[in-house]
A and B are shown apart, each in its own frame.
Chain A
Amino acid sequence: DIQMTQSPSSLSASVGDRVTITCRASQGIRSGLGWFQQKPGKAPKRLINEASSLQSGVPSRFSGSGSGTEFTLTISSLQPDDFATYYCLQYKTFPFTFGGGTKVEIK
């Protein structure tokens, strides 16, 4: 199975900060990666597909980059609504595998 190592596992940031979350795949997955946001008690929401394709309705402060084994999710200017847990998911190969998550908290 492909292992997805996500870092950091948590971070504290202030409104307006630039935030970067990284996912590393144990083997190459080309661009087969999505990023998800989850708030407590809610279903996840997909933000980005194919490593860098922003989903309709997702604010442009979110961006994704990378291919192969290294991927990043960047929030250019953190907003109050962005405090949540973020997950990456590889879907290049079965079984699909999620990263361990990054909890973004208010500083």
Chain B
Amino acid sequence: EVQLVESGGGLVQPGGSLTLSCAASGLTFSDHYMEWVRQAPGKGLEWVGRSRNKANRYTTEYAASVKGRFTLSRGDSENSLYLQMTSLKTEDTAVYFCTTKIDSPDQMSWGQGTLVTVSS
């Protein structure tokens, strides 16, 4: 069974930085695309970004709202996905979910989410 566990959320001031982690188990991590999806309090879902697998050179895609500020990376030896967030804005306040490939025909997995609060 695939398990995804996010960590690293917390309170950060506007303009600050934070790195989220997603620890994966139950899958061959380097074979899998991974994504981040976020949800602001009381709001809908927003796709944040994609990290492709090793075969696709770990290339990335980002939502326009985070491009240039957020960076996806992976540590395959640790089976972990990272989201480095810089120049944080109050509108980045959200629960951040780590997921497997969102358009895969196979069963899709989600983590439980980690809350990021950007506030002074």
Chain A residues with a Cβ under 8 A of chain B: 1, 32, 34, 36, 38, 43-46, 49-50, 53, 55-56, 87, 89, 91, 94-101
**A53 in contact with B45 (CB, 8 Å):** no
Nearest CB to that of B46 among chain A residues? A98
**B103 in contact with A34 (CB, 8 Å):** yes
B97: A residues at CB distance < 8 A: 43-44
Nearest CB to that of A87 among chain B residues? B45
CB distance from A38 to the nearest CB of B (A): 8
In the complex, 17 of the A-B residue pairs with CB atoms within 8 angstroms, ordered by the A residue number, are A1-B64, A34-B102, A43-B111, A44-B37, A44-B45, A44-B97, A46-B102, A46-B108, A50-B105, A91-B102, A94-B50, A94-B61, A95-B64, A96-B47, A96-B63, A98-B44, A101-B45
**Which applies to chain B's interface (DSSP): helix, strand, loop or mixed?**
loop
Known pairs A36-B45, A49-B103, A100-B44; list 17 more (Cβ under 8 Å).
Answer: A1-B64, A32-B103, A43-B112, A43-B113, A44-B97, A46-B102, A49-B104, A49-B105, A89-B47, A91-B102, A95-B47, A95-B61, A98-B44, A98-B45, A98-B46, A99-B44, A101-B45
A45: B residues at CB distance < 8 A: 110
Inter-chain contact total with CB atoms closer than 8 Å = 53
- When A43-B112, A91-B103 are in contact, do A97 and B47 touch as well, CB less than 8 Å? yes
Can you list the 9 inter-chain pairs with the closest CB atoms, starting with the nearest?
A43-B110, A96-B47, A91-B103, A101-B44, A98-B45, A95-B63, A94-B61, A46-B108, A100-B44
**Which applies to chain A's interface (DSSP): helix, strand, loop or mixed?**
loop
Please measure, in the bound complex, the distance between the C-alpha atom of A36 and the C-alpha atom of B99, giving whole angstroms: 13
B103: A residues at CB distance < 8 A: 32, 34, 49, 91
